Structure 1
Amino acid sequence: MVNIRPDDVFVVTPPKCGTTWMQTIVALLLSGDPEVETELSIKMPWVDIRLREMPEIAARLEAMTCRRSMKSHTPLDGLPLDDHAHYICVFRHPLDAHFSFRNHIRNIPIPWFDHWYPEHDDDGITFRRFLDGGAEGFDADAMPLAHILQHYKAAKAMSDRPNVSLFHYSDMKRDLAGVFAQLSELLNTPHSNPVMQQLIAAATFDHMKENAERYAPSGGKGFFKSDTEFFHSGSNGKWYDQLSDQELAAYDAIMDEHLNREDRFWLENGQS
């Protein structure tokens, strides 16, 4: 069990919604150094990863003397909440997250997800699993739509807390400087304008992709087939012309069942 400190920062997201991007922004703001070695897997660990033992992660975090940041793919209602630590929740259009996850799976050199994401999917298994998978349990590793919706509902329900903030991938793309300014205020990490401009430049998609070994989780350690491919495109609309009318109708029905019009618009588009 990790003992939460008052100035801890938790980045809480469904997979492929801008987790690494937000962790990098936090690392840059906490350090004030555009050249900081982020080493996300070590310095800003994924606290609920199933590949490592929790006591190992907890011991590493307890030994840290700097301000800590952690990553979690567990919905906010499944995490211990502290009144002072800050929880940064990041979301993306669910279909973009799904298609980004497809690319992500193909870049992992171990066939963990082939049951859900077969390489040759003429029968549409992948999208059916996305729509039918449950929010909890074994299916959550494959990041179904229910998992994204549970994340969003939990974060929205707690968004009135001063230490819970919701961000959207599209807004990060549209106004990265604005996101830096907002986070700097939330985390109480002020920097001069020249320094802030350097930090923003370091967090652009192109810069992170060009320096993928530095910015990808476990970069340079062979965890991915290609660290550069981890930053596949950073684009929205990956799903256009990829789904049938029937598949889109099934997606629309689930979204409309679970979210009102305002919440659905924000989850898919952010503030833009």
Structure 2
Amino acid sequence: MTARKLYLGPLTDSRRWDMVDIRPDDVIVVTPPKCGTTWMQTIVALLFFADPEIETELSFKMPWVDIRIREMSEVAARLDAMTHRRSMKSHTPMDGLPLDDQAQYVCVFRHPLDAHFSFRRHVRNLPLSMFDMWYPEDDPDGITYRRFLDGGPEGFDTDAMPLAHILRHYKAAKTLADRPNVSLFHYADMTQDLPGTFAKLADLLDISHSDAVMAELVRAATFENMKANAARFAPSGGKGFMKSDTAFFHSGTSGKWQGVLSDKERADYDAVMDEALTPEDRMWLEYGSEGRART
């Protein structure tokens, strides 16, 4: 990519990446929200330090660069001072990020409807009023879902995570997937084969641990362990950023929309997806490797 797109929303400012001096061994986790970001960051941290008891402290040790909440000069200085291998997080699509030839970009996706329903619950757990318009607590008219389908991929809509933003993420990552330093992972595959996810990522990051150590790291990254230790694993856990750290790890399951959406709502979603993606791309974005096997 020769020109980066600008993603500028209430929380997001992709220009903040201009202050990051990317190193060749950096690992940048790039995802739409609620698609396995914290899970993948935790796996990276465990692989880096080979310690199942590591205090991940993701918000500080592996910062979300795009978010406006912290002064970028402070974030950049903290990153510059790190002497160990670094990782960072971004909710900006790949076409809005600086693309280094050697740093690893780990892109994670999830069925868009699962991500949407997970985000609905997530905003109720945040002490922020900015989402109230898109995600009203009382929504008898289905405003939230309508905006999910109709919202744009950038501008103010960016941080409300409409379907268009998820699709932009996927298309931007898929365009670069032939590069050796851009990898696509899927939440469903991580759920079905966590040891395989660790092995694949360790290979990409050129990290090697004994079988015994890897087994302990995998155990630490299970949903059950992360939820049981929510104050340790949730972003800014134990600091009161969210109303409940435990609620951040609600269920980790898929198919949250089944039995909830009406036939028309599901048909409207299908129409957007079929127009935006090939059948093969749609099946992968929704179901990962299992979806690819169906085509």
Verify same fold: TM over 0.5: yes
* TM-score w.r.t. length of structure 2: 0.91
Q: Distance in 1 between matches of 2:256 and 2:243?
A: 21
- The aligned amino acid for 1:27 is A
Of residues 159, 164, 168, the one that matches 1:146 is 164
Q: Does 1:91 align with 2:109?
A: yes
1:200 aligns with 2:218: yes
User: How far did 1:241 drift?
Assistant: 1.1
SS at match of 2:89: strand
Cα distance in 2 for residues equivalent to 1:7 and 1:136: 29
Indicate which of 251, 256, 265 corresponds to 2:274.
256
Matches within 5 A, 1:238-253: 238-253=256-271
Please give the secondary structure, in 2, of the residue aligned with 1:167. Answer: strand
Q: Which amino acid aligns with 2:103?
A: A
1:50 offset after TM fit, Å?
Answer: 1.8
1:210-243 C-alpha deviation (Å, 9 max, x unpaired): 0000000000011111100000000000111111
User: Which residue of structure 2 aligns with residue 167 of structure 1?
Assistant: 185
Runs of 4+ that moved beyond 3 A: none
Question: Structure 1 residue 11: deviation in Å?
Answer: 0.1
1:102 alignment partner, SS class: helix
CA distance in 1, matches of 2:56, 2:190: 19
**Which of these residues, 21, 33, 42, is aligned with residue 24 of structure 1?**
42
Aligned to 1:10: 28
Please report the RMSD computed on the Cα atoms of aligned residues, expressed in angstroms: 0.6
Counterparts of 1:98 and 1:181, CA distance in 2: 29
Separation in 2 of the partners of 1:186 and 1:141?
30
Question: Equivalent residue of 1:253, what SS?
Answer: helix
> Residues 59-100 of structure 1, C-alpha deviation per residue, up to 9 Å, x if partnerless?
110111110000000000110011100000000000000000
State whether structure 2 residue 52 is matched by structure 1 residue 34.
Answer: yes
Tell me, in whole angstroms, the C-alpha distance in 1 between the residues paired with 2:128 and 2:272. 31
Query: Tell me, what secondary structure is at the counterpart of 2:289?
Result: coil
Asked if residue 51 in structure 1 is aligned to residue 69 in structure 2, the reply is yes
**AA in 1 matched with 2:173:** A
- Map of 1:182 onto structure 2: 200
Q: CA deviation at 1:110?
A: 2.6
Q: How does 1:102-181 map to 2 (within 5 A)?
A: 102-181=120-199
Helix, strand or coil at the partner of 1:108: coil
- Shift, 1:164, TM fit: 0.3
What is the TM-score normalised by the length of structure 1? 0.99
The amino acid across from 1:218 in the alignment is S
| Letter in structure 2 aligned against 1:204 | T
Give 1:268's aligned residue.
286
The aligned length equals 272
Amino acid at match of 1:58: A
Q: Deviation per CA, 1:11-34, whole angstroms, max 9, x where unpaired?
A: 000000000000000000011111
